[in-house]
Amino acid sequence: MLQLFKTEWLKIKNYRTFWILFGSFFTFLPFTFLMTASRFMRQFSQFEDKSIEAAMLKRLFSSPFIFPNVWHGAAWFGGMFFIIIGMLFIMLITNEVQYKTHRQNIIDGWSRMDYIKAKITLLLFFVATSTLMVFFCGLVCGLLYTPNRSSVSIFENMHYVGYYAVMATLYLVIAFLIALLIKRTGLAIILYFGYVFIIDNLLWLALTFRKSQAGYFLPLESTDSLVPNPFKPGMVETRTVSDGTLLITAAIYGALMMYWMVRYYQRTDLRT
C-alpha cells in the first residue's frame, strides 16, 4: 500500500492545482476558525456580569471555542471547508481518465484492484492530514481562549475529531463514486456540489417532516448529524438517533459504496 501511495504522490506532487486547493483548505480553515473565535469571544465576554439574563444567555449559547467544546467547533468548521478536498479528489480521479493514466497503470503491471487501492491510500492521506489540522485548530484555539484551563478537561470532547474523520471519509467515498461514474471533471464536481448542498438537504427536510428520524439515515446526514452546528442551542435539537447508530449507518454506506465501486471498475471498459 505504501508503494501505491508513493506512485500516487509522484503523480500529484508537481500538480499546481493540487497545491492550490490543498493549501486553500489548510489556510482558510485555521484563519476562519480563529477569526470567528476572536470575534465571538469578544461578544461572549459581554455576558460576564452576574445578572439572570446574562446567565441564561451563557447557558443558551455556550462557546464552541473553549475547552472542551472547542473540539466540536473545530470539527464543524472543518466539515464546512472539506468540500474543497472533495472537489480536489474528484479532479485527481477524473484527470486519470482524461489523460489515460489509469490505463497506463494497468499496462505497466497494476491490477484494477491496485488502482482502487492506490486511490484509497490517497483518500486516507486527505482524511489524516485534514483531521490533524482540525485537531491543531481546536488545540490552539482552546489554549488561546479558555480562561481557566485547570478547571476543565481539555480532551473531554475529543470524540468530535474522530467524528470528523468518519465524516471526511464518507464524503470522499461519495466523491470517488461520482468521479468513477461521471468521468468528466466539471460535470462530476457540479453533481457533487449539487448533492452535498441541495439534494441531501432537500431529502433531509422531506424525511424529517413532522419530527421523523428517517432523514438522519441518509448517507451524508448519518455523518453530518454527528457534528451538528455548535451554535445551535441544544434545546432545539430534534435528533433522537444515537451516535452509535449513526456510525454503524455510515460504515454500512461506506462499505456498500466501496464494494460497488470495486465491482464496477473491474468490469468497466477502460477505453472510455
- Asked if residue 31 is part of any domain, the answer here is yes
- Asked if residue 243 is part of any domain, the answer here is yes
- Asked if residue 125 is part of any domain, the answer here is yes
Distant-in-sequence, close-in-space partners of 156: CB < 8 Å, separation ≥ 6: 67, 68
For the entire predicted model, the pTM comes to 0.93
- Asked if residue 244 is part of any domain, the answer here is yes
- Asked if residue 272 is part of any domain, the answer here is no
The pLDDT value recorded for residue 235 is: 63
The pLDDT value recorded for residue 250 is: 97
181: cell is 461514474
Please tell me the total number of residues recorded for the chain in this structure: 272
Own/partner contacts of 247-252, CB < 8 Å, gap of 24 or more, are 247/166, 249/217, 249/222, 250/166, 250/167, 250/170, 250/219, 250/222, 250/223, 250/226
Where are the extended beta strands (E) located within 184-269? none
Name the residue type at position 11. Answer: K
The pLDDT value recorded for residue 153 is: 86
Domain holding 32, by residue range, is 2-267
The pLDDT value recorded for residue 212 is: 87
Regions in the chain scoring below 70 on pLDDT: 44-61, 103, 106-107, 234-236, 270-272
C-alpha to C-alpha distance for 266 and 270, rounded to whole angstroms: 10
- Asked if residue 146 is part of any domain, the answer here is yes
The pLDDT value recorded for residue 107 is: 65
Q: Which residue has the cell 444515537?
A: 242
In the chain, how many domains are there? Answer: 1
